[in-house]
Amino acid sequence: MHFFDGIIFGIIDNGVLIMGALFGLSIEKYLPKYFHKGIGTVFGAGIGNAVSDFLGGTPIAIDFAWGTFIGCLGTLIFIPIFVEIKKIKSK
């Protein structure tokens, strides 16, 4: 039975991630030029991953789910830093 539970979890987990990435792609044109060229998609994927990890953590414990969600969102602050590092290295 765990095999089929894993399939359902995988569908939901990746489905939410893909929806987040597509959402990020759709709003990218409204973001400052700094965030163009796929950065909106990366943010969307990060948010989608945070939501899907939250949903995956709820059967374990709600505080675990919230902790995972906040931890995932916390990593999004590194995206602009990585973009700047890439710009510096490409000069």
Percentage of the chain lying above the pLDDT 90 cut? 16
Would you give the DSSP letter of residue 36?
Answer: T
Measured torsion, CA atoms of residues 34, 38, 43, 48, in degrees rounded to the nearest 10: 160
Contacting residues for 76 by C-beta, under 8 A, at least 6 apart: 43, 46, 47
pLDDT of residue 40: 80
pLDDT digit string, tens, across residues 34-67: 666 778 888 888 999 999 889 888 888 899 999 9
Three-state SS at 7: helix
What are the extents of the domains in the chain? 2-90
pLDDT of residue 51: 92
**Which position has the higher pLDDT, 27 or 54?**
54
- CA 67, CA 17: separation in Å to the nearest integer? 18
